[in-house]
Structures are given as C-alpha cells and as structure tokens.
Copies of this chain bind each other. A is one copy, B any other.
C-alpha cells in the first residue's frame, strides 16, 4: 500500500514519468475504455506487475495522470478587456479540444472521471486550478466597472467553456472557432446583465 512514498528517488520517479507518458499515449490512441495496463507497461518498458501494484486500476492511473496535468499551468492572457480575455480563453479551450492529441486525452480523462471517484476528484481539482487561473480576468473587469460588482468570476469562466464541452460530449456539433467566439460573447453579455452576481 502507498508504494513509492518511502523511496521516491531516482527509479521510482523515472518509472512514474515513463508510465504517465505511456498512459497518455495509450489514452490518446485507444481511449479510456480500452486502456490496457499491460500495454501501458510495455510502452513504458516497465513490468506490468509494477503498474498494477502502484496504480491498481486504469482509473487510478488516470487520477495520477490528472494530478500531474494539474501541476503544469498554462498562463492566462491580460489584454485589459474582458471580451478579449474571455475570447482568448475560449479559443484556447477550442484549440485544445480539437487538437487530435489533447482532445482525445481530455475526452478520455473525462470518461475516467465519470467511472471512478478518485479520477473525478482529480479532474475537478484540475479544472478548479484552471478556472482559478483565469478568474482574475473577471475580477479586474469588475474593478474596471465592465461588469457589476459581486460578479462571480469563476462562474463566468465556467460559462465560457461550458458550450464547448457541451458540443464535444453531448450534442456532437463541431467545436469550431465561431462557437468559441459566441461562447465568450455570451458570457460577457450575461455578466454585463448581472446574471452572475453572487
């Protein structure tokens, strides 16, 4: 139990990095439902016993991958205009979701999160970090009086992403740049109207 915590040095860390990279590759190629831990072990050039012992299940492996992903932060923009900032955010999300590798990876981890509570918690932490990273855009817009005081910054950021994920996972409509632009514009319009006041 809790393998890799007493001697986390050299080999253990190297194996974790190799396995997480291999897991991401496998998720991109086959998706979460066809994730084979023996295949991941082969790709990482590691014994499959090691993968089963340290991560237990496919969902456990994805949960760890998500914690690793949460640590790599991507910086937000700061254009001085809420509409421009949210548009940049929407375009970033749009490009991520339509990128062959990133898009497939995100779909896979979202599936994992709906199947396993630890993966779900890791996914929620991941998005909490991303949302918190972009929230200052809205807070600054409040101070510039672009949107009403008391506007829930996190809720505005969520509102930008929501239509893109809805198309990706639910309706199957294309996640194109026009959709991103509309999502950002809608969030700005609603925020200005005071919809997101706490």
Contact = CB atoms under 8 A, between A and B. Distances in A.
A131 interface: yes
A186 interface: yes
A46 to B, nearest CB: 24
A105 to B, nearest CB: 12
Contacts of A131: 171
Q: Helix, strand, loop or mixed for chain A's interface?
A: helix
B163 A159 contact: yes
Nearest to A106: B170
A172 B109 CA distance: 14
Nearest to A120: B172
Interface string A142-180: 000000000000010011011101110111110000000
A13 interface: no
A124 B173 CA distance: 8
A190 interface: yes
B120 A110 contact: no
A136 B113 CA distance: 35
Interface in A105-150: 107, 110-111, 113-115, 120-121, 123-124, 127-128, 131
A171 B114 contact: no
Contacts of A166: 158, 161-162, 165-166
Interface of A: 31-34, 107, 110-111, 113-115, 120-121, 123-124, 127-128, 131, 155, 158-159, 161-163, 165-167, 169-173, 182, 185-187, 189-190, 192-193, 195-196
